Each structure stands twice: as C-alpha cells, then as structure tokens.
Chains A and B, each alone.
Chain A
Amino acid sequence: MEEMPFNDISYRQFLNEEKLMGSRCKKCHALFLPPRPICIKCHGTEMEWVEIEGRGELRAFTCIAIGPPFMIEEGFNRKNPYCSGVVELKEGVRADARIEGVDTHAPEKIQIGMPLNVKFLHRQKEGIENTYLAFEPA
C-alpha cells in the first residue's frame, strides 16, 4: 500500500474497496483527506497512508433541486432534491459528501452537528465502477 501514489486515483480505488483513506505527514503528523502528496502544514514530502474510520458530524449542507446530469440520471430533480454536505470526521479532517437518509423536503429540520456514519455508493457507468462518498445519520 505504501507504494500507491498519494493521489485522487488511489483515493478512488480505496473508495471502491469501501475504505476511506487519507495521508499523514511523516514529519509533522498532519492528517489529510483526500490524501495529499505534499504536507501543507510543514511542507514535508514524505507521507504514509491512514484509514479514516468514517464517523463524524455535519458541518454544512444544502438540498439541491437543480443538479448536474449525473445526479439527474439518478432520479434527482426539483421534486426530488438531494442533500450534499461537509462532514467533519472524528480524526479532525473534513470531507465533501452526499448526505443520505435526511428529509430533503424539510431542510430546515436538518441539524448542523448531527452525528453521521460513512456509506459508500457504488455506481456503474459504461462498465466502470465509481464509488461516491456518502454519510447517513448514525
């Protein structure tokens, strides 16, 4: 695993395996999700892989009525909005993700700070597997 480059391709491969993987600076131990090849805290260039457990809290969200084509293909539209949010993991890093299991017709009831657990959404397109990061209420 150490040989895998610290990039988005590796990150997405891990998501396909239902693993949420970040990188940690070997020098200052700063943690990054998604993984970075260069530490933006101490400018160190040696990284190691770290698995993120996948428990966190909602920090910001939106319920989207007009989405991009790949979301429309999933059946989302003005009558069926979806939720996207920013989640703070208990390790301290944050992730942009789909938020499932919330009532997108009553967004005023969705609470910032609500506890969430990771969920992996597997999608096939033209024979290629893509996994999207999602969270749902704990």
Chain B
Amino acid sequence: MSAVASEMLVFEHETMPRAAGGRWEGLFQNVVVVISGVILVGILCCALFAPWLAPHNPNTIHLFNPYTGPSRSFPFGQDSAGRDILSRLIYGSRLSLLGPTIVVAIAFVAGVPLGFLAAYRGGFTDGIVSRLFDVIFAFPPLLLAVVIVATFGASFMTAVFAVAVTYIPLMGRLVRSAALVERSKPYVEECRLQGYGAWRVLFIHMMPNIGRIIISQTTLYFAYGLLDLSALSFLGLGAQPPQIDWGGMLENANQGVFQSSTGVVFPAVAIVLLVVSLNFIADWALDFRSRKAEQR
C-alpha cells in the first residue's frame, strides 16, 4: 500500500499544472498586476483623502484663465471656468468609484437571486423572470437609462439607478444560464444523494462553483458601469454641479479641446486606467487557486 502511495505522490508532481507560457510571460504578468494594484490603491487613496491631496478647491473659479494648459500651480491645467483639473480629478474619483460600485451592487443583489430562482425552479417562475429580463433587454441600455433619467430628473443617484436597472438582467441571465449548466453536473447529483436541502446545494455547492464567473463578470460590469455613467454625465444627465465626476469633466472640457486638451485627456486617462487595472487585478485574483497549486 505504501509503495502505491509513494507512486501516487510522484504522479501528482508530474501532473502539476504549470504556468501558461514561459518565465517571461509570468514576469510580465506580475509586473502588470503590481502596477495595476498601485494604480487602484492610488485612486482609492485619492477618493478617501481628497481634501488633503487636492492642491486647490476643485470648485474655485478663475474666470480669466479658462482652458489653460499646465502651469506651475496648476500642473494638469485649468478647465472652462479656470478650475484646477488635478483637484477636480482627485475629487471626481469619489463619485466615479462610488457610482459603478452602487450599480454593480444593485445588479448583484437583484440579478443573482433572480437568476438562481429562474434556473432552480424552472417552468413558470423561469418564464416570468426571463420575460421580465427580455423586456429590459429589448431597449438599448443607454437609451433606457436616458429615458429613466429624463423621467425622474437628472441627478447622480438617478443616473446610478438607471444604469443599475439595465444591468440587472445582464447579471440575472448570466447566473441563470450558469446555474442551469451547474445543476446538471454530477456533483450536484451527489449532493442530492447525500440528502442535502435545496439551500445547502445552492449556496454551499453551486454558488461557489459559479462564483468565478459571477465575480469576473462583476468586475466587467463595474467597468461598463463606469463608462455608462460617464456617458450619462457627458450628456449632462449624470452628476450635476457642484458634484464632480470624470465623465462630467469630459463633457465640460470638450468644447475647449483645441485650446487646451488636458481637460479631456486626463479624465479619459483616469477612466481607462481604472477600468484596465481593475480587470487585471480581477484576473489575477481569480487565478488564486491555480497559483497556490503551483507554489506547492
């Protein structure tokens, strides 16, 4: 028996999964992850410590120098009303982080249970839930959001709820189809054999197995949410002055883009950096288990 066991040990080592690609690829990935982490932490710090980090009051107007390029006291330049772009970026990170977070949270809290319910109960319940999703899906998301904002008046929270509504069916459908696939897997049958109740099977076994898909999709939705909210702000339907967010800054700066481009470039770069680094970090986090297997 022990001879067999030691053989199995060898076998185990040989079949251990190796990192995809060579050493350079692994190193590159590590560098990207570190950079992404630094950027995310940086943006988070900006949001938390804005009053201490911002060099100027973000809403102080300098009417005589609109659309001014970088200078010693305004390193990122000044916008249409001469406000400090750097300070506005730092303050803007607050809403630009908060908005997508609420969107994703609402989509998660409403979409995941609905998707599970539809997949698990099937039949009539599934029909009702799925048709409800279809109705929302029938409208282009941004258009639907615009309609909702137009109905309830433009404000940051309205925009957030409007975008969230369009994300609920995305999340719901994803969870439903993943749960349908998962439900027919042998280990779920094994759970039935063991006589476990529906809640235990759903939340202890199926949910963690689908979790990877849900989490990776959630980070994607965060990024999309940020872009959609920025788009609404850009259309003037999102955060209203004196509230600041990055999308709104873009809107404000686009008329003076030929005088000074910094008002467009920096908020855009901030949005891209946030979205991209979030995706890298999410990928990295989801590889947790395979990384652990490699280390052994």
Genuine A/B complex: no
Q: Which residues of A approach B to under 8 Å, CB–CB?
A: none
